[in-house]
Amino acid sequence: VLVRDVENPRREVGLHDTAAAMQYIQDAAGPQAHFISGYAIDDTLGDNLQVTGIATGFRDTESKGF
């Protein structure tokens, strides 16, 4: 799972929000997922946090007959 976190360095909220977002993604991806994360700064975000996640390797539990 690739995760990119973009924040405004002057925002009111901090690491707690980033940790909550990462925990949400970890819970959805499962304990076997491998993570690569990145961090960027964007002064225009105000108090918002932007998180982008890209995941591959999902296994289909049903055979589609391909």
What are 12-24's pLDDT values in tens digits? 666 788 888 889 9
Beta-bridge mates of residue 51: 5
Residues in the chain: 66
More confident residue, 14 or 4: 4
| Model confidence pTM above 0.75 | no
pLDDT at 18: 82
pLDDT at 14: 67
37, 23, 33, 38: which is closest to 57 by C-alpha? Answer: 33
